Homo-oligomer: A and B are copies of this chain.
């Protein structure tokens, strides 16, 4: 690394929109932006969450001058407990983001985080980095972008953003601040690519007000609104509409209760007088006075809405006359679960309003025209699209090309790539390992490809355990083998198959002549496993995992 060069090193957030974590480094000092998690894809059986590989941060922890968090979504704050189990570093966040971080950390993690509040427009110094947050619009309040002044030049990180000229909560994104940064000259722009495939502008959150009004005006019975617990402006809008129509509002679902409580305490959620009721009170109210805001817009199996849809939610039994609004976009991969919920709600007699034609959701991320606006306004020397799957980064880079940026100054990168920058030029260094790390249960990182392969096989065809006792002197089986199966065949109806399998085991065991070292139970186990494998494959077309336990008696 040459003197006066800035290093940009993404540890997460590229190749996917989750587990955001970005490193900037200048003269040995490290600034970290966001520490998020990613939810596992469907083939990651048993995995709870995926976190960035923190190896580089742990190794270089004395050089970390600060961790700045742009907003309070899980893909930006969810990795903090895991990182703070391994290092100490000051964490900087705006008030609501800080509140959401605080409830995630245990006492020891809190101590190590030395949480600091930052505010839009106020500069905080972290080593040689001068960080000035600026206000942006997003699907959670108190979201900021970052202007980061370094001796190498000015870096602008948009954070997750859209430009909402008529937001429901707070102010429009601070375009004046962006204009001033532009005048200062921007070395590097890092900009949100989530909607880089979407033409046009993202609609304002306030456009949903009409839709809610229309539904509330027509509903005779209870109204249940499912949305993201972090979408506080949406929740605020529902509360206000409810109040306007003389309804009271309760919240359902743990994250909804927790987030609305924090937001209310910190002044980010306002309840008109006599509107808030506990969930336990809704059954005493007339139906036409009830609104319930619930978790479960993604069909999550234990969310409030999924439990209502399947009749597992004691406090709220769905019935004829209920109107359910799903105010969210389906995150890819969740469609089946969401559709199942909708079907079940209809079966119980509810009217369900959902999906794009319902007009009940707008995105929290900037679309192509907004992205072009940022690019044109800031005119950076270098541009790296961040926060996106590969195809989104490619689309975002193309927008920059279309606007006339020299392609050699636009970098579509992968996690772990190292980009060295100065006004003199940019070059890539050796990448470092930055594969996602899987968390399963209490254990971080021990689940890898081989365990996932085993789980896939087990999921497909189950497991068979064969217990065989061999008489060491005669080489005959000492008693009938026993076969136990899980997830393979339904044993009560498979007696013939199991009897035939037992006969195969007896045959192969008694044909064994012993190795050169005499009777070898391990070798015998392998032989039995191989024979049972091919027997079951030919008889059933299935390939269960087979474990033979041979004991010599």
Using a CB–CB cutoff of 8 Å, the interface residues on chain A facing chain B are 15, 41-42, 45-46, 197-199, 332-333, 335-336, 339, 342-343, 346-347, 352, 355, 357, 389-391, 394, 440-443, 446-448, 450-452, 454-463, 465, 467, 469, 484, 486-490, 493-494, 539-542, 545, 547, 549, 551, 553
Contact A487 B15, CB 8 Å, known A335-B332, A347-B390: no
Contact A451 B462, CB 8 Å, known A335-B332, A551-B551: yes
Contact A339 B343, CB 8 Å, known A461-B46, A540-B441: no
CA distance A198 to B355 in the complex (A): 10
Asked if A489 and B342 make an inter-chain contact with CB atoms under 8 angstroms apart, the answer reads no
Q: With CB as the reference atom, state the residue of chain B lying closest to A542.
A: B441
Mind listing 28 A-B residue pairs with CB under 8 Å?
A: A15-B343, A41-B336, A45-B487, A46-B461, A46-B487, A198-B357, A339-B389, A342-B391, A343-B390, A440-B461, A441-B540, A441-B541, A441-B542, A442-B541, A443-B540, A443-B542, A446-B489, A447-B490, A451-B462, A455-B462, A459-B459, A465-B549, A467-B549, A467-B551, A484-B547, A486-B547, A547-B547, A551-B551
Return A380 CB to nearest CB of chain B, in Å: 23
Contacts of A389 in B (CB 8 A): 339, 343
Return A198 CB to nearest CB of chain B, in Å: 8
Asked if A391 and B462 make an inter-chain contact with CB atoms under 8 angstroms apart, the answer reads no
Contacts of A463 in B (CB 8 A): 458, 463, 486, 545, 547
Contacts of A545 in B (CB 8 A): 463, 486
Q: With CB as the reference atom, state the residue of chain B lying closest to A460.
A: B46
Contacts of A484 in B (CB 8 A): 547
Given contact pairs A447-B490, A457-B487, a sample of 19 additional A-B residue pairs in the complex whose CB atoms are under 8 Å apart: A42-B336, A46-B462, A46-B542, A332-B335, A332-B339, A339-B391, A343-B390, A343-B391, A352-B391, A440-B542, A443-B541, A455-B459, A455-B487, A457-B486, A458-B458, A463-B486, A463-B545, A467-B551, A551-B553
Asked if A490 and B450 make an inter-chain contact with CB atoms under 8 angstroms apart, the answer reads yes
Contacts of A487 in B (CB 8 A): 45-46, 451-452, 454-455, 457-458
Contacts of A450 in B (CB 8 A): 490
Q: With CB as the reference atom, state the residue of chain B lying closest to A537.
A: B441
Contacts of A462 in B (CB 8 A): 46, 451, 454-455, 458
Return A362 CB to nearest CB of chain B, in Å: 17
Return A493 CB to nearest CB of chain B, in Å: 6
Asked if A355 and B197 make an inter-chain contact with CB atoms under 8 angstroms apart, the answer reads yes
Asked if A346 and B391 make an inter-chain contact with CB atoms under 8 angstroms apart, the answer reads yes
Closest 4 CB pairs of A and B: A441-B541, A459-B459, A454-B487, A458-B458
Contacts of A332 in B (CB 8 A): 335-336, 339
CA distance A283 to B102 in the complex (A): 60
CA distance A237 to B450 in the complex (A): 45
Contacts of A540 in B (CB 8 A): 440-443
Contacts of A390 in B (CB 8 A): 343, 346-347
Asked if B451 and A490 make an inter-chain contact with CB atoms under 8 angstroms apart, the answer reads yes
Q: With CB as the reference atom, state the residue of chain B lying closest to A354.
A: B391
8 Å CB contact of A455 from B41, B441, B458, B553: B458
Return A199 CB to nearest CB of chain B, in Å: 6
Q: With CB as the reference atom, state the residue of chain B lying closest to A335.
A: B332
CA distance A421 to B542 in the complex (A): 45
Asked if B42 and A446 make an inter-chain contact with CB atoms under 8 angstroms apart, the answer reads no
Contacts of A347 in B (CB 8 A): 390
Asked if A446 and B15 make an inter-chain contact with CB atoms under 8 angstroms apart, the answer reads no
Contacts of A452 in B (CB 8 A): 487
Asked if B45 and A451 make an inter-chain contact with CB atoms under 8 angstroms apart, the answer reads no
CA distance A494 to B539 in the complex (A): 36
Q: With CB as the reference atom, state the residue of chain B lying closest to A15.
A: B343
Asked if B443 and A489 make an inter-chain contact with CB atoms under 8 angstroms apart, the answer reads yes
Return A190 CB to nearest CB of chain B, in Å: 20
Return A469 CB to nearest CB of chain B, in Å: 6
CA distance A546 to B465 in the complex (A): 11
Contacts of A458 in B (CB 8 A): 455, 458-459, 462-463, 486-487
Among A46, A339, A394, A460, find the residue whose CB has the most chain B CB atoms closer than 10 A. Answer: A46
